[in-house]
C-alpha cells in the first residue's frame, strides 16, 4: 500500500528530543557504524542503514529478552506467508531457486518487520523514513506502522480508511496495542507458524457478559458457538480478486489484483476449534488464482485444496450494523450469506466447504 507523500525533512531529519534520549546518548555510530570524523565520505564508510535488520543484532545487546522471542515471531519471519505458499505448492519450495522463491523474496518478504520498522521508522513497504524524527517510541504510532503493513485490510478498516466506517474502538481512541498484547508483536519465543497460533484478543476479554444475563435479546437467543461477534457487528470489508504477479525490469515482483470490492459475506466455518467454535464466520476473498504466478513460470498444484474465501476477523466493529437492524436483515438475506452462485469460475473448489446451502 502506497504511503503518504512526505517531504525529506519529515522522513529523515532528527529532532533535538532524540539527542537527549537514552538512544541518542549512545551516538550514531554505536548502532549504525561508520566513523566519527568530519569528512562525509569517511564518516559514512560502512554505515549500516538498517541496524535492527538482524533480530540477534544490535538491539539484542540491550533488549536481549525481547530479541530472543522476536526472532521466532511471524512479524519477523513471515512464516505464515511461507507456509501458505508451501501449502499451495510443496514443502521446501522456498529452499530452491525458482520463480516462486523470486516472487516471495521480492514481494511477500517485504512484510518482514524489524525492531526499527515499528519503533523508529515506517515499514519499507509503506514509505520508509522515520516516523518520529528518530525518537524511539515504546508504543509505535499505528497510523505509520500498523497501517503501513495492514492498511489494505484490518488496520485500514479499523481507521476507516478502507470501507464505509471506522471501528467503534478506534473512534473511542483505542490503539491496536490496547487489545493486542505485546506477545502478538514480539512473539513468545516459540516458532510461530501463523497468526492464529498466537494469543489473539477476544471480544469477551472486555465484554464478559455477552452470553449470560445480557440485556440484548439477540445475545440470549444465539449460543456462544453459533457465530463470531463480527457476523452481527462488523461492516463490509475489502476483498481482492484475480491477482497476477509480474516481474519488473529491476527483477522485483509486483502483484496486481484485477478487482477490489467492499462487500460483506458470512459463511460456514470449515475448521471449528476451541478458539473459534463458531458455525458461522465473516469471510474475506483473497486474490490468489490458479495462475497467479503463471507469468513467472510458477505453478500452484494444490490450489483447489485451499479455500480462497477466508475467515476474516474484520476490524470495523459497530454496535449497530445493516445486518443486525432486525431479524430479517440477516435471516434469509441472500446477499450476505456465501452461496454457490457467488463463487467465480477460477475460485478454489474448496470454497464449497464454506458455502451456506440453506439460508438460516
Instruction: Find, among 74, 75, 51, the residue nearest to 63 by Cα.
Output: 51
The closest alpha carbon to 345, from 272, 262, 242, 246, belongs to 242
Cα–Cα distance measured from residue 117 to residue 121, given in angstroms and rounded to the nearest whole number: 5
Same domain as 181, residue 193:
yes
* Residue range of the domain that includes 55: 1-8+51-201
One domain, residues 252 and 263: yes
Residue 350 domain-assigned (yes or no):
yes
Please give the distance of CA 89 from its chain centroid, rounded to a whole number. 22
CB neighbour list of residue 200: distance below 8 Å, 6 or more residues apart: 180, 184, 275, 313
| Secondary structure of residue 300 in the 3-state scheme | coil
328 shares a domain with 258: yes
Q: Please indicate, yes or no, whether residues 339 and 258 belong to a single structural domain of this protein.
A: yes
Residue 15, domain member (yes or no): no
Task: Mark which of 201, 217, 239 sits at the end of a domain.
Answer: 201
Closest to 13 (Cα-Cα) out of 146, 131, 114:
131
Instruction: Please report whether residue 20 resides in a domain.
Output: no
Residue 47 and residue 32 in contact, taking contact as beta carbons nearer than 8 Å? yes
- pLDDT of 120: 94
Q: Is residue 21 part of a domain?
A: no
- Please say which residue of 183, 201, 219 terminates a domain: 201
Residue 42 lies in a domain: no
DSSP designation for 137: P
Instruction: For residues 211 and 194, state if they share a domain.
Output: no
Residue 253 domain flag: yes
Nearest to 280 by CA among 214, 234, 348, 238: 234
Q: Are 113 and 224 found together in one domain?
A: no
- Which pLDDT belongs to residue 157? 96
Same domain, 157 and 208: no
Q: 191 with 223, same domain?
A: no
Residue 253's closest CA among 114, 149, 108?
108
Query: Mean pLDDT by 10-residue block, N- to C-terminus, for the chain (360 residues)?
Result: 56 87 92 92 91 88 91 93 93 90 82 91 84 93 92 93 95 96 93 88 89 84 93 96 81 77 97 93 95 88 96 95 95 96 96 96
Specify the number of domains making up the chain.
2
Tell me whether residue 23 is in a domain.
no
Instruction: Report which of 163, 139, 74 is spatially closest to residue 112, judged by C-alpha positions.
Output: 74
Together in a domain, 187 and 238: no
Whether 76 is covered by a domain: the verdict is yes
Question: Same domain for 207 and 167?
Answer: no
Same domain, 77 and 177: yes
Q: Which residues contact 80 (CB under 8 A, 6 or more apart)?
A: 74, 192, 193, 194, 195
- Among 232, 210, 211, residue whose Cα is nearest residue 331: 232
CA 12 to chain CA centroid, nearest Å: 26
Residue 360 and residue 211 share a domain: yes
Q: Label residues 222-249 b or e (16+ Cβ within 10 Å = b).
A: beeeebbbbbbbbbbbbbbbebbbebee
Predicted local distance difference test score (pLDDT) of residue 251:
65
CA distance 168 to 159: 9
Domain boundary among 166, 201, 236: 201
- How far is 325 from 97, CA to CA, in rounded Å? 54
Amino acid at each position: 500500500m502506497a504511503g503518504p507523500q512526505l517531504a525529506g525533512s519529515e522522513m529523515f531529519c532528527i529532532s533535538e528530543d532524540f539527542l537527549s534520549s537514552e538512544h541518542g546518548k549512545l551516538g550514531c555510530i554505536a548502532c549504525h557504524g561508520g566513523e566519527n570524523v568530519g569528512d562525509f565520505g569517511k564518516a559514512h564508510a560502512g554505515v549500516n542503514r538498517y541496524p535492527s535488520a538482524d533480530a540477534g543484532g544490535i538491539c539484542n545487546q540491550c533488549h536481549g529478552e525481547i530479541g530472543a522471542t522476536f526472532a521466532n515471531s511471524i512479524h519477523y519471519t513471515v512464516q505464515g506467508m511461507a507456509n501458505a505458499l508451501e501449502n499451495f505448492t510443496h514443502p521446501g519450495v522456498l529452499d530452491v531457486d525458482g520463480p516462486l522463491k523470486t516472487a516471495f523474496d521480492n514481494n511477500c518478504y517485504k512484510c518482514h518487520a524489524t525492531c526499527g520498522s515499528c519503533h523508529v521508522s515506517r515499514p519499507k513497504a509503506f514509505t520508509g523514513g522515520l516516523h518520529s524524527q528518530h525518537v524511539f517510541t515504546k508504543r509505535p504510532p499505528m497510523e505509520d506502522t500498523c497501517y503501513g503493513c495492514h492498511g489494505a485490510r484490518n488496520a485500514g478498516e479499523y481507521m476507516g480508511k478502507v470501507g464505509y466506517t471506522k471501528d467503534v474502538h478506534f473512534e473511542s481512541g483505542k490503539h491496536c496495542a490496547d487489545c493486542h498484547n505485546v506477545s502478538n508483536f514480539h512473539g513468545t519465543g516459540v516458532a510461530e507458524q501463523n497468526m492464529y497460533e498466537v494469543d489473539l484478543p477476544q471480544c469477551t476479554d472486555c465484554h464478559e457478559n455477552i452470553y449470560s444475563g445480557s440485556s440484548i435479546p439477540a445475545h440470549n437467543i444465539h449460543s456462544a458457538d453459533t457465530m463470531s461477534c463480527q457476523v452481527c457487528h462488523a461492516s463490509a470489508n475489502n476483498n481482492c480478486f484475480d491477482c497476477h504477479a509480474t516481474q519488473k525490469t529491476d527483477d522485483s515482483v509486483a502483484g496486481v489484483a484485477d478487482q477490489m470490492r467492499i462487500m460483506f459475506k458470512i459463511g460456514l466455518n470449515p475448521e471449528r476449534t476451541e478458539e473459534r467454535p463458531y458455525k458461522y464466520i465473516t469471510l474475506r476473498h483473497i486474490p490468489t488464482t490458479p495462475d497467479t504466478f503463471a507469468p513467472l513460470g510458477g505453478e500452484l498444484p494444490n490450489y483447489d485444496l485451499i479455500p480462497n474465501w477466508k475467515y476474516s476477523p474484520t476490524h470495523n466493529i459497530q454496535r449497530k450494523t445493516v445486518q443486525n437492524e432486525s431479524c430479517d436483515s440477516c435471516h434469509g438475506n441472500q446477499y450476505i450469506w456465501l452461496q454457490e452462485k457467488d463463487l467465480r469460475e477460477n475460485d478454489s473448489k474448496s470454497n464449497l466447504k464454506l458455502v451456506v446451502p440453506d439460508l438460516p
